Chains A and B, each alone.
Chain A
Amino acid sequence: MTLDATVIVIGSGPAGVSAAWPLVEAGIEVLMVDASNGVMPAPPAHEDLAAWRADPARWRAELGGTGPLAEAGLSPKFATPRARATLTGFAQASGLQADGFHAVGSLAAGGLSQIWGALAPHYSPDDLAAFPDPAVMAASCDRVAERIGVNPSAILTPAAARVAARHRETRDDPGFRLGPAPNAVLAASRRERGGCTACGLCLHGCARGSIYQAAAELPALSRHSNFRYRPGVRVERLGGAAGAHLVEARAGTEQVSLRAGAVVLAAGTLATTGLALRRLGLVGRRVRLESNPVGGMAFLIPGLVGQALPARSFGLGQLFYTIDVEPGVESAGVVYGADTLPLGPIADRLPLTRAAALRTARALAPALLLATQYLPGRFSDNRLWLEGDGSLRVEGHQTAQAQQLLDRGFATLAGRMRRRGAWALPGSRQVLTPGADAHPAGTLPLRGTGPAATTATGELAGVAGVFVADGAALPLLSARHPTLTIMAQADGVGRTLARRLATPAMAQVG
């Protein structure tokens, strides 16, 4: 039987790319497919924020050309043309209906990394203890961090810099840790990616490639003759046929069927789970879906009110903190500056007449810090299941405990920030819909005991030769942003599979 590839990797996001690298480097024939079918809007080519703000076409980019004005909604990063192109079509393509849950996924090349905040903290040793082999995971984390270029945020806006400076002078606050955000952003140029020039347009996509995004690794992978990439292939189901795995997909209007010795699922948690449940024939079985309960609040540094907005800045996370909310419960969050954001969402919250609200928001923006706070996934309460008609359903609930812990965390954060010169803005605290974190995970946990789970090596329990490389297989969703850990786990899956395929006796997998 002829195979289309030894291994088919489904998805070109951070997980797919991370799983592909070890396989490709081991000389194994890899075919990567994703459902992308269009080009992403080019990132703005403006020199800096000042040039962007002066561009007469800016309103079209920020608010869209037709229909209701694009709403920032849950996060300003969801309101850009880039975000619209990244998120569009996903729910429809995957037949997804969500209730009480903000379901995100992407068909784009590079997946959600097209619009991620690039925050890539390491899981704590306690977190890693939940993984089958913590030492191997730690090594994978380091390897991935090196590959994607994780650096403590080098460029701080004046507001964040003040807090950081006061933090250095402050005696230790037990249970509160604060530092520059560990971002996958290059400070200096490396190969194809340019170093960050603090143009401040991060939200709209980085024209220099300083911010890591997975699709940018595709050219490097493609330089290997044993790697092929095929976009526009939306996988609908997996099957098995005589010693080979069958990947049934739709390419445009055409039905395609691909064969491989092994399949790596990296389509993003929601899409991957749909494919896995369909493969397992688990219709109607409710599977636990973890997400990080998340909220946000705003702080003001009075000494900076009224300053002019900077011409250059950095639009991603400035500071990263963790709080011991209660013994054994760590929350984590990021502090952003407001000087790179559109003022609309800030002005919207002021009960003033609009012109005054805009002026006020403008005067406050340089002095504002916006903090998010995430709780570990175990405090989420969401279910995902496959309907008989093949559609995917998600139901989310915010638990009272999550609400309580977030409140407590925000109270602690307010106190700690106050000692560092930042005043919490009354009324700015808000808790977001489950799923708004965009960290859905843990539906097919490693060594899980439910009907849908993966083995210690990431192989789908009951279906040898199908591996889960994305967030779906996380055995634990920490409060810390999970991307780096997901990539490390995918790296581990790639390595395991490469080892197996390298042993001739084992070449026949699945």
Chain B
Amino acid sequence: MARHLIITGGTGYLGTALVACALEQGRAVTLLGRRAGPLGTQHRRWMLGEPLPAEIDTQDAALVHLAHDWRAGDYANVAGTALLFASAEAAGVASRVFVSSQSARNDALNRYGRMKWAAEQRIAGATSLRVGLIYGGPRVAMYGLLCRLASLPVLPMIEPARAVQPIHLGEVVAGMLAAVDGRGTGRVLALAGPDPVQFGDVLRLFARVLWAKRLPIVPIPLRFALWACELSARLPLVPTIDRERVLGLAGTEPIDSAVDLARLGIAVRPIAKRLAAEPACRRALLVEARALLRRAGTVPTSALMRRYARAFPDGAMVRSRLEPIDGPVAARMRAAARLAEASVAGEARLARGSRVGRLARLAVDSMAETLMLPVRIVVTRR
């Protein structure tokens, strides 16, 4: 096990999670970069284009290179990476890990992908991890952007059927640490979900479990999107759409990751199962529990809400104003009703009143429900 991790880009989305996990495992961490890291880490000022600082203790050390300079040119990134790895090798850092991208290809549509590919070629002896679409953890970086996009009422999207290979932040960190500890040394490994998922479905899943809503997606042709980028760059007062991001999304090709994941010893759970366990998704599910329990006629206590949540590990559903007659939402309403009936407050509400009151209520209910039933059928029909 590498006792000491030297990390670039350690304050970003992926880096923060890696640093936290490494510290938890009792490893020493040195961050290279402009900003210092959390308590317990060392910091050395460093910029892409500089070699590994000389004074760093390299015994039992491993290098994890996450940093990417968007402002620097292609050459600066590739050459800077090569220099860092060469100097690290010279300083005796045995384990060197480069965090690359699923889009890394010689002929990638986006510059980022081409650059990552070029860097991979210049760091012989190091391990390159081509990371898939990362989700989970704090809602920042690409994950944060996708979460925000999923909250839109309608999402125009390039190629929603494009396959992506989501992988949880925690799983990526575990994969990076496995590589650091020497699994798969010297190879280019795919660190991405083994089963490709349609990108549109990922965003729809985000919309459901995070925002409890449906996400209509309007597919737009790539050509049109690039034209919009160009247009946005020329028009005043309109935020510029980054052509690079658009190409990054459009250019990802599926990679076969099952063998590499086995090599790293990492089990990647399907996003549909894992995403729902994210704290934000759990909160959304509890919000759903409260709404449905209330609607079923009880006072939602936290114990009841948690019980409801335990029954639905798939996360929140799309809610509707009207109760559907059947389908998954109706099944959840029935579960809420079961809990409501068995709860103290629900029981008290059902038990109260006189027979006359109950009969009157029955008459009112049946009239209202008879009027409402056709509406419910029509409106909630899928």
Contact = CB atoms under 8 A, between A and B. Distances in A.
B91 to A, nearest CB: 52
Interface in B310-361: 310-311, 323, 325, 333-344, 346-347, 350-351, 355-356, 358-359, 361
Contact of B295 (A342, A344, A355): A355
B141 interface: no
B307 A65 contact: yes
B327 to A, nearest CB: 13
B336 A354 contact: yes
Contact of B362 (A65, A342, A360): A360
B53 to A, nearest CB: 52
A275 interface: no
Nearest to B333: A354
A307 B343 CA distance: 21
Closest 5 CB pairs of A and B: A59-B342, A354-B337, A355-B297, A344-B338, A306-B359
A277 B338 CA distance: 43
Contacts of A54: 344, 347
Interface string B350-382: 110001101101100110110011001000000
A66 B356 CA distance: 39
A46 to B, nearest CB: 13
B73 to A, nearest CB: 55
A58 B325 contact: no
B310 A363 contact: no
A502 interface: no
* Most A C-beta atoms less than 10 A away, residue of B341, B346, B358: B341
Contacts of B337: 344, 347-348, 354-355, 357-358
Nearest to A309: B351
Contact of A354 (B304, B323, B366): B323
A360 B376 CA distance: 18
Contacts of B347: 53-54, 58
B359 A305 contact: yes
Nearest to B343: A59
Nearest to A362: B350
Interface in A352-387: 352-360, 362-363
Given A306-B356, A344-B342, A363-B358, 9 more contacts: A347-B337, A352-B373, A354-B333, A354-B340, A355-B295, A355-B296, A356-B365, A359-B358, A360-B365
16 contacts: A56-B343, A59-B307, A60-B307, A67-B310, A67-B311, A69-B338, A347-B341, A353-B369, A354-B296, A354-B336, A354-B340, A355-B296, A356-B368, A356-B369, A358-B340, A363-B359
Nearest to A345: B338
Interface of A: 53-54, 56, 58-60, 62-63, 65-69, 305-309, 342-344, 347-348, 351-360, 362-363
A306 B343 CA distance: 21
Nearest to B325: A351
A69 B369 contact: no
Interface of B: 295-297, 304, 307, 310-311, 323, 325, 333-344, 346-347, 350-351, 355-356, 358-359, 361-362, 365-366, 368-369, 372-373, 376
Given A65-B307, A69-B335, A347-B337, A358 B297 contact: yes
Contacts of B369: 352-353, 356
A247 to B, nearest CB: 42
Contacts of A359: 297, 350, 358, 361-362, 365
Contacts of B344: 54, 56
Could you tell me the dominant secondary structure of chain B's interface residues?
helix
Given A53-B347, A59-B343, A358-B296, A68 B362 contact: no
* Most A C-beta atoms less than 10 A away, residue of B340, B342, B351, B355: B342
A69 B325 contact: no
Contacts of B343: 56, 58-59
A342 B359 CA distance: 20
A59 B355 CA distance: 26
A62 B342 contact: yes
Nearest to B348: A54
Nearest to A355: B297
Given A56-B344, A347-B337, A69 B365 contact: no
A65 B310 CA distance: 8
A362 B358 CA distance: 9
Nearest to B372: A353
A311 to B, nearest CB: 11
A350 to B, nearest CB: 9
Contacts of A53: 347, 351
Nearest to A50: B351
Nearest to A53: B347
A59 B373 CA distance: 29
A353 B323 contact: yes
B350 A358 contact: yes
Contacts of B296: 354-355, 358
A53 B342 CA distance: 7
Contacts of A308: 351, 355
A418 B178 CA distance: 74
Contacts of B307: 59-60, 63, 65
Contacts of B365: 352, 356, 359-360
* Most B C-beta atoms less than 10 A away, residue of A351, A354, A356: A354
Given A59-B304, A63-B339, A347-B337, A305 B297 contact: no
Contacts of A66: 310
B336 to A, nearest CB: 7
A343 B325 CA distance: 18
Given A351-B325, A352-B369, A306 B355 contact: yes
B358 to A, nearest CB: 4
A342 B343 CA distance: 12
Given A354-B295, A354-B337, A355-B295, A69 B355 contact: no
